[in-house]
Amino acid sequence: MKKIGILTITDYVNYGNRLQNYAAQELLKSLGFEVESIVNVTIPEIETGLAFTIKRLKNALKLSPATLVKKTVEKLDERKNHEKYLAGQRAKEKSFREFSEKYVSETDFVVSQKNIPADLGDRYDYVVVGSDQIWNPKIRYGSSIDFLTFAPKNKRVALAPSFGVSTIPEKYVARYTKWISEMAFLSVREQAGADIIKKLTGLEAPVHIDPTLMLTKEHWLSIAQKAKQKPAEKYLLTYFIGAVSKKRRQLITELAKKNNLKIVQMASLVDIERYDASPAEFIDYINSASLVCTDSFHAIIFSMQSEKPFVVFDREGKSAVMSSRIDTLLSKFKFESRKYSILEQTNNFFTIDYSHVPQILEVERKKVLEYLNNALK
């Protein structure tokens, strides 16, 4: 049996990451391959020295006194919550690792840019990169391993990777241009990614759905685990990657109160008893929710899989990033009206029509399968 290695973000704290890794594995296994994910880490290029110190000082001097005070207060608040955050992260990582050990076949070694087995590319018939934000320079620091440079060019296949940004920083442009041009088969997860590839290389890359949409609802429910802290009463589920402003909290509180729903917050230190919920429990939480409020790409996908009403908020705070992958998803499945800015005017929070989705899914899944059958001859 031919073997495929998956190179994706090895993350034991993000629900979408673990679930898309599992989905990619199952998709490739369904095509008759043996599959394992290559555990990996990337290391940031740390700025140091006098020049970096001067740059920090210049940036600080540009801020107003009020902003400096605000930032200082925020730092103090962060330190107060740091121990609580670390404890929560340790518990969360434990449940995520248990999920991976049960459902994801991973290598027993770790790869980094400076630690790559000489024969790594020879161990696989193909190496697949994706999905998730594996080509995001802000979180992957322009690592060569993310472009499969350790494998022969004819073995390199991209499975809907995401850039997570609208433009590539200048210092990474030459690397990205070279490495992308050397991929045997290219696809991306959002239109902005296709635009980046076109601009850098002149190549056309098809925009494919995320691997999580290649598996059926029944498949996902077969690995779902009944959430230990799931309330008996009906609830509104929130899952935010970005910050949650006071105004947004008030909007959600009012929405829940008006509809007699309890609020359940995933991945929030405010709701610490659920902070360590596993990816399998995450599926169950969404499947049992009356409404899902989120700024997360994968929370939208699993709401769609469970045919739940969902509300999409723009991302806030430091992690606010370009929303192309969410815009592409909503546009492809004709759910643009699920953005909060529209729903607050129509008040159709709980009314959603999924009758058109199966036909779109059938077309999009066929595109991915044709692409993979061509790439993995």
In whole angstroms, what is the distance from residue 321 CA to residue 165 CA? 7
Residues 228 and 119 placed together within one structural domain of the fold: no
* pLDDT score, position 281: 98
**pLDDT, greater one: 190 or 319:** 190
Question: pLDDT over 70 for what percent of the chain?
Answer: 89
**Amino acid at site 267:** A
In whole angstroms, what is the distance from residue 302 CA to residue 211 CA? 12
* pLDDT score, position 44: 80
**Amino acid at site 11:** D
Q: 93 lies in a domain?
A: no
Residues 313 and 262 placed together within one structural domain of the fold: yes
Residue 334 has pLDDT above 60, yes or no: yes
pLDDT band at residue 321, thresholds of 50, 70 and 90?
low
Average pLDDT over residues 213-232: 98
Number of folded domains in the chain?
A: 3
**pLDDT, greater one: 28 or 59:** 28
Q: 117 lies in a domain?
A: yes
Residue 268, preceding bond cis, omega within 30 degrees? Answer: no
Over the chain, what is the mean pLDDT? 92
Residues 110 and 27 placed together within one structural domain of the fold: yes
* pLDDT score, position 48: 46
Q: Give the model confidence (pLDDT) of 62-115 as tens digits.
A: 566 666 566 555 655 655 677 778 888 999 999 999 999 999 999 999 999 999
- Percentages helix, strand, coil for the chain (3-state, rounded to 5) are 50, 10, 35
Q: What is the DSSP letter of 309?
A: -
Domain that holds residue 280: 223-355
Average pLDDT over residues 23-31: 98
Q: Are 18 and 279 in contact (CB under 8 A)?
A: yes
Q: 92 lies in a domain?
A: no
The CATH number of the domain holding residue 258 is 3.40.50
Residue 53 has pLDDT above 90, yes or no: no
Strand-pairing partners, residue 207, are 188
Q: 232 lies in a domain?
A: yes
Residues 251 and 294 placed together within one structural domain of the fold: yes
Q: 366 lies in a domain?
A: yes
Q: Give the model confidence (pLDDT) of 173-210 as tens digits.
A: 999 999 999 999 999 999 999 999 999 999 999 999 99
Which of 231, 214, 247 shows the shortest CA–CA distance to 26?
214
pLDDT band at residue 46, thresholds of 50, 70 and 90?
low
Q: Are 12 and 37 in contact (CB under 8 A)?
A: no
* pLDDT score, position 60: 54
Residues 264 and 343 placed together within one structural domain of the fold: yes
Q: Are 207 and 295 in contact (CB under 8 A)?
A: no
Residues 199 and 124 placed together within one structural domain of the fold: yes
Residues 71 and 157 placed together within one structural domain of the fold: no
Q: Are 360 and 335 in contact (CB under 8 A)?
A: no
Residues 33 and 69 placed together within one structural domain of the fold: no
pLDDT band at residue 277, thresholds of 50, 70 and 90?
very high
Structure tokens at 9: 């973000």
Q: 192 lies in a domain?
A: yes
* pLDDT score, position 152: 98
Say what the pTM is: 0.91
Residue 305 C-alpha from the chain's centroid = 16
Q: What angle do CA 208, 42, 115 make, to 5 degrees?
A: 115
* pLDDT score, position 176: 98
Residues 299 and 166 placed together within one structural domain of the fold: no
Residue 269 C-alpha from the chain's centroid = 20
Average pLDDT over residues 313-341: 89
Helix (H) or strand (E) holding 35: strand 34-37
Q: Give the model confidence (pLDDT) of 143-153 as tens digits.
A: 999 999 999 99
116, 153, 319, 333 from 165: Cα distances, Å:
27, 25, 11, 22
* pLDDT score, position 322: 62
Residues 293 and 315 placed together within one structural domain of the fold: yes
Which of 64, 87, 110 marks a domain boundary? 87
Residues 337 and 243 placed together within one structural domain of the fold: yes
Q: 367 lies in a domain?
A: yes
Residues 208 and 243 placed together within one structural domain of the fold: no
Q: Are 367 and 208 in contact (CB under 8 A)?
A: yes
Q: 239 lies in a domain?
A: yes
* pLDDT score, position 323: 84
Q: Give the model confidence (pLDDT) of 357-374 as tens digits.
A: 999 999 999 999 999 999
Q: Please name the residue ranges forming H helices in the chain.
A: 15-30, 49-61, 65-103, 137-140, 170-181, 191-201, 217-223, 246-258, 279-288, 297-305, 324-332, 340-346, 357-375
